[in-house]
Chain A
Amino acid sequence: MTDLMDHTAEAATTTRMNMIQAINSAMDVMMARDPDVIVMGEDVGYFGGVFRATAGLQAKYGKTRVFDTPITECGIVGVAVGMGAYGLRPVPEIQFADYIYPALDQLVSEAARLRYRSAGEFTSPITVRSPFGGGIFGGQTHSQSPEGIFTHISGVKTVIPSTPYDAKGLLIAAIEDNDPTIFFEPKRIYNGPFNGHWDRPAENWSKHPAGEVPTGYYKIELGKAKVVREGEALTILAYGTMVHVCQQVVADTGVDAEIVDLRTLVPLDIDTIEASVKKTGRCMIVHEATRTSGFGSELSALVQERCFYHLEAPIERVTGFDTPYPHSLEWAYFPGPVRIGEALKKIMKDA
């Protein structure tokens, strides 16, 4: 799991990609392999998406496979569910995760339950892609991290990549998966691995090993976490942008932390989490989403239930505050190096 290239790669050829290009490549690969894969959403067609994730796909595959939609998220997901029932494999895009709420009824009441309520007669093999997370001065409605809403729904999978390599492999796996999947793309790291230091020059993926991405087909199994840094002192559970922020804090503080990138929140890789916490005896959970009833609460409860006798300190949750995502106060809200550093001191105090 620590080996970057441990997954079947059809094409040995790799090239440098940022996360946008990797996501674009995943859809390109899947559209070429499966004529039932279609891409739809606001501005995804001719224009290629507001983040360029679908650039070139309409020209390559035609308007009946890649098309722009009216501005109605409920319609986008509802139509995708119907297309899935017909036998297609739709990949709808919701332009920002902050705008997925109008589609909640279709996701919660329909996509998530269709297999269950019809005892398998109808299924919903859809993959809803949506840029999420903050750190880009997106203010209240271009920064949210609503993953906790989706992990609470039985019947949907929730996936969040943290690198271009993972983004492509996980997206291909999500598209092939026969269950509805919410694929949240951390837009702060579309272009480079953000380390939390907003006041330093931005990095891009060209120097990061996970920016080297196979051009062909490969996939990363859903439900498998990845240990991105092995360590003995504590376990840090993170996903998306926060994986990179945590790596930087750990490097800066010299604490020998084991960092686990969850990659899939549902189904969760409980074995990797449990093994790590039992080894280290400490667990810190980091996410950008608001704290109360966030996914960190579930992680904390699971670790407490399964690793109680191995814990040497209370589980720490480092999260966004329980407020709407502010604009000018973004870096006070964002769980960056200072907040994570303080939490590290606290959890390591008696070590």
Chain B
Amino acid sequence: MASDTRRTNLPPLALHVPEPKFRPGDAVDFVGVDVPAVDAARRPDTAAQASEFPDLAYGLVRVLDLDGTAGGAWDPKLSPDMMRRMLRSMALVRAFDERMFRAQRQGKTSFYMKCTGEEAVAVAAAHALDYEDMCFPSYRQQGLLIARGWSLVDMMNQIYSNSADRLQGKQLPIMYSVKEAGFFSISGNLATQYPQAVGWAMASAAKGDTRISAVWCGEGSTAEGDFHSACTFASVYRAPVILNVVNNQWAISSFSGFAGAEATTFAARAVGYGIAGLRVDGNDALAVYAATQWAAERARTNQGPTLIEHFTYRAEGHSTSDDPGQYRSAGEATAWPLGDPIARLKAHLIALGEWDEDRHAAQDKELAEEVKVAQKEAEKNGILGHGLHQPLDTLFDGVFEEMPWHLREQQAQMMAEEAASGRPWDRK
């Protein structure tokens, strides 16, 4: 049909379908990834016009060099204590991830998602924000809760959907919600938290509050319409919000090219919206800290939103349901030119004479023990593998503030079924 109308004097059109550089079995060579020097990115005033940021949206804000030294205009010059706290938080996130991943493999819960290699993105941001600032995370920012000192046992209770689960077994594991820690309820629907975070920030501004909000999504989710809506709203109302894009190169099996990365950067999206845009080395905890602190000051002084792309790499599978060996080269994680966020901050502290291998090894051991103790504590409240732990009739709680008649009827029906069938769901 199309050929009937094709003009034969013109070359045929060709559809471009992006393809990642490396597939399973390929040798990995990341020479194409540009890693600018730590002093390459300028640090503008937080009151600078949004139109002045294109170089930063296409560049890369870095502080920690790969040899362990720190420098450049963005160096936040943190105290060794502060850096050790961040190192500890990141290592605790990794230890938590490893143990919970194993718990899923052991059948103790249905699902888990690690953030290996991306610990700096959440942990350093949490340290740079005020505790009262509201975070709208995606499912891979467990580091926010851990860095804010939230109880590991409480997080595990949620993962196990056990009797102490604050979400009453209603949510998929890792979809935490902790209002007290400024951690907004995680949704399975991608990017929906983006306009919500902007709305929260607008509300804070409208009420003359001093709190700001911060939101995270992956680079894959930037393709959602909500991302565009949120950026438009954030720009129009100069909302005090930090829009974080965690570009870990992969959205399940789709490489970042399917979100548009072949043609531009994600920070560069900010340019078109009139938002300050920063592209940051996401495996550099000091750079993430510095950029977040800068954006927070910009937001808090009514200069408006900042979009930060965190350039990083998803070192492991998407989730416990994913096998990355099916779609990408196993060599990618180790070849990633920006290295590992924990190893880099550790090397820096060692270079400063503020840390050493023995202390690091001792800390790892201590953190593994801390997670293990928390897990034992959480398992006292039950594990999903052993069945339901919530009173059956709570299934209907919280659909509405007050339960309408039709839900009360269905609740009664369910309880009658339970009684008639020999109480298969009855909790001891």
Binding site for B on A (CB under 8 A): 38, 64-65, 69-70, 72, 74-75, 77-88, 90, 102, 105-106, 109-110, 113-123, 154-155, 157, 177-179, 223, 266-268, 270
Contact = CB atoms under 8 A, between A and B. Distances in A.
Interface stretch (B4-12, B361-369, B397-405, B412-420): B397-405
B175 A83 contact: no
A296 B140 CA distance: 43
Nearest to A72: B229
Interface string B174-205: 01011100001101110010111111111111
B189 A105 contact: yes
B43 to A, nearest CB: 30
Interface residues of B, number: 48
Given A79-B195, A117-B171, A120-B398, A268 B406 contact: yes
Given A74-B195, A87-B203, A223-B404, A154 B398 contact: no
Contacts of A69: 233, 236
A303 B66 CA distance: 72
A81 B199 contact: yes
Interface stretch (B19-27, B78-86, B162-170, B249-257): B162-170
Interface string B360-401: 000000000000000000000000000000000000011111
Given A82-B196, A82-B198, A117 B177 contact: yes
B194 A270 contact: no
Given A70-B233, A72-B229, A114-B185, A179 B401 contact: yes
B225 interface: yes
B232 to A, nearest CB: 5
A82 B399 contact: no
B228 interface: yes
Of B177, B201, B202, B213, most buried by chain A (CB within 10 Å of CB) is: B202
B184 A85 contact: yes
6 contacts: A72-B233, A105-B189, A113-B187, A116-B170, A119-B170, A177-B401
Contact of B177 (A77, A106, A118, A267): A118
Given A87-B203, A88-B203, A70 B168 contact: no
A38 B206 contact: yes
Contacts of B204: 86
A75 B196 CA distance: 8
Given A81-B196, A82-B196, A114-B185, A122 B226 contact: no
Interface centre among A65, A84, A105 (most CB of B within 10 A): A105
A53 to B, nearest CB: 21
A83 B202 contact: yes
Contacts of A80: 199
Interface string B196-222: 111111111111000001000000000
B230 interface: yes
Contacts of B184: 85, 122
B203 A115 contact: no
A83 B200 contact: yes
A339 to B, nearest CB: 30
Interface string B229-247: 1101100100000000000
B399 A86 contact: no
Nearest to B400: A179
Contact of B398 (A79, A119, A270): A119
Contact of A117 (B167, B200, B228): B167
Contacts of B195: 74-75, 77-79, 81-82, 106
Contacts of B187: 109-110, 113, 117
Nearest to B188: A109
Contacts of B229: 70, 72, 74-75, 78
Contacts of B171: 117
